[in-house]
């Protein structure tokens, strides 16, 4: 069952056709009928089977898609399958890991019937640039090619590609199979049909596409997240609060509300006048540093990366890490269920945009 999470976006999103934007079909956008799409099995291609690639593969497998994935080291295939199978099991699944086909080389992928290709190789500009140059030559031009980069610009990665109009960003959040939102990021030359097609595909696999119109650093969500993280680390630097108090203030304080409403809707509910007054008095005291905080820089310089190294703000045992990971995932799975139940009642959310002068 397809459940819409959040306000009815069809009523929120501007009608692009009215704005004169090209939505296809174009030379790169072959006509496919709905009937044809229903009859053929859907196939996704994923290049890179680490943390993100495995979890993204699970999203599509769990919805009955076939997935072809490039995992270069064959000795790790069992581990890849095990991680994917675990993630598929955590989802409300109607598919299985049995329809995952692994290959060691992108030249062994079959592109017939593929809906899109996504790269999830490490965050290294040169590696991604080379990979896109190869995909540019190998992949039929009607297939969208996406990068899951956290911060690099697709416009730069694809700068020398002949078919860069079908290339864009598809930014999943960790753990990708549990976090519902996915940013669909438009590069300088990405055509509208690519964004539209990916947004539709994401909705069809129970995800919430977030359209981001420019590939600026941090896209949309990470800009907001890092603004929060800068202040969170700064208050520790200043001795205002301990790390556990920062966590509690966000998780059980204002952050607790985010499972019910985003920050803008929440302020709409509580009063924009109060928000304006609070902003006037608090903004001048907020951190505006252009460099990461002292405590973060020192921890990383000392080799304390968190659970990865057994020490960060806290000390970890292997048992403690496993227990924390399980608790974290259990809570996210419960939150997804809650959001789906809440999604049934989104009609009561006021979705009529205010077209008055103040919002122009």
Ligand X SMILES: NC(=O)c1ccc[n+]([C@@H]2O[C@H](COP(=O)([O-])OP(=O)(O)OC[C@H]3O[C@@H](n4cnc5c(N)ncnc54)[C@H](O)[C@@H]3O)[C@@H](O)[C@H]2O)c1
Q: Using the 8-state DSSP alphabet, how is residue 17 labeled?
A: T
183 is catalytic: yes
- Candidates 51, 216, 228, 323; binder of ligand X (CB under 6 A) is 51
Taking CB under 6 A as the rule, does residue 45 contact ligand X? no
- Candidates 43, 45, 46, 52; binder of ligand X (CB under 6 A) is 52
| Contact region with ligand X (CB under 6 A), list: 36-44, 146-154, 245-253, 296-304 | 146-154
Taking CB under 6 A as the rule, does residue 53 contact ligand X? yes
Site for ligand X in 184-243 (CB under 6 A): none
Taking CB under 6 A as the rule, does residue 75 contact ligand X? no
Taking CB under 6 A as the rule, does residue 49 contact ligand X? yes
Question: How many Å apart are CA 322 and CA 75, to the nearest integer?
Answer: 24
Question: How many Å apart are CA 193 and CA 328, to the nearest integer?
Answer: 37
- Candidates 44, 70, 103, 299; binder of ligand X (CB under 6 A) is 70
Helix (H) / strand (E) containing 228: helix 221-237
Taking CB under 6 A as the rule, does residue 174 contact ligand X? yes
- Candidates 45, 87, 121, 205; binder of ligand X (CB under 6 A) is 121
Q: How many residues does the chain have?
A: 360
Taking CB under 6 A as the rule, does residue 257 contact ligand X? no
Number of residues that bind ligand X (CB under 6 A): 20
Candidates 134, 165, 183, 324; catalytic one: 183
Cα dist. 185→110, 149, 215, 216, 312 in Å?
26, 10, 6, 9, 32
- Candidates 149, 191, 199, 293; binder of ligand X (CB under 6 A) is 149
Backbone angles phi, psi at 6, to 5 degrees: 100, 180
Question: How many Å apart are CA 173 and CA 57, to the nearest integer?
Answer: 14
C-beta of 316: minimal distance to ligand X in Å?
18
Question: How many Å apart are CA 244 and CA 247, to the nearest integer?
Answer: 5
**Residue 42 CB contacts under 8 Å (≥ 6 apart), including other chains:** 60, 64, 65, 66, 113, 115
C-beta of 305: minimal distance to ligand X in Å?
13
Nearest residue (beta carbon) to ligand X: 50
| Helices and strands (DSSP H and E) totals, the chain | 13, 8
Taking CB under 6 A as the rule, does residue 120 contact ligand X? yes
**Residue 216 CB contacts under 8 Å (≥ 6 apart), including other chains:** 153, 223
DSSP string, 300-317: HHTT--BTTTTBSSSB--
Question: How many Å apart are CA 183 and CA 332, to the nearest integer?
Answer: 19
C-beta of 124: minimal distance to ligand X in Å?
8
Taking CB under 6 A as the rule, does residue 50 contact ligand X? yes
| Contact region with ligand X (CB under 6 A), list: 145-153, 263-271, 328-336, 337-345 | 145-153
> Residue 243 CA to chain centroid, in angstroms?
26
CB closer to ligand X out of 254 and 305: 305
Q: Would you please indicate which residues are annotated as catalytic (active-site) residues?
A: 183
Chain positions contacting ligand X, by CB under 6 A: 47-53, 70, 72, 120-123, 127, 131, 148-150, 172, 174
């Amino acid at each position: 069952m397809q459940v819409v999470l959040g306000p009815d976006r069809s009523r929120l999103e501007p009608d692009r056709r009215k704005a004169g934007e090209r939505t296809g079909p174009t030379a790169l956008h072959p006509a496919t009928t709905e009937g044809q799409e229903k009859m053929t099995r859907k196939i996704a291609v994923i290049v890179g089977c680490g943390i993100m690639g495995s979890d993204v593969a699970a999203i599509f497998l769990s919805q009955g898609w076939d997935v072809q994935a490039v995992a270069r080291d064959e000795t790790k295939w069992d581990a890849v399958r095990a991680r994917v199978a675990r993630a598929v099991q955590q989802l409300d699944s109607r598919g299985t890991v049995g329809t995952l086909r692994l290959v060691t080389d992108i030249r062994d992928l079959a592109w017939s019937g593929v809906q899109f290709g996504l790269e999830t190789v490490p965050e290294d500009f040169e590696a991604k640039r080379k990979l896109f140059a190869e995909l540019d030559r190998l992949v039929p031009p009607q297939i969208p090619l996406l990068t899951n980069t956290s911060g690099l610009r697709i416009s730069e990665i694809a700068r020398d590609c002949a078919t860069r109009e079908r290339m864009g960003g598809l930014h999943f959040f960790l753990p990708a199979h549990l976090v519902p939102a996915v940013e669909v990021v438009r590069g300088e030359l990405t055509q509208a049909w690519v964004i539209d097609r990916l947004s539709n595909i994401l909705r069809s696999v129970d995800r919430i596409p977030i359209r981001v119109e420019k590939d600026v650093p941090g896209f949309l969500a990470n800009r907001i997240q890092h603004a929060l993280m800068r202040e969170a680390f700064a208050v520790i630097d200043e001795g205002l609060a301990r790390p556990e108090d920062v966590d509690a203030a966000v998780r059980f304080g204002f952050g607790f509300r985010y499972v019910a409403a985003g920050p803008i809707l929440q302020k709409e509910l509580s009063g924009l006048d109060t928000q304006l007054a609070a902003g006037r008095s608090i903004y001048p005291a907020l951190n505006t540093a252009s460099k990461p905080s002292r405590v973060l820089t020192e921890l990383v310089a000392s080799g304390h990366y968190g659970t990865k190294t057994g020490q960060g703000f806290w000390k970890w045992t292997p048992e403690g890490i496993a227990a924390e990971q399980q608790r974290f995932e259990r809570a996210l799975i419960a939150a997804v269920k809650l959001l789906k139940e809440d999604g049934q009642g989104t009609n009561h959310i006021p979705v009529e945009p205010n077209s008055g002068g103040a919002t122009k």
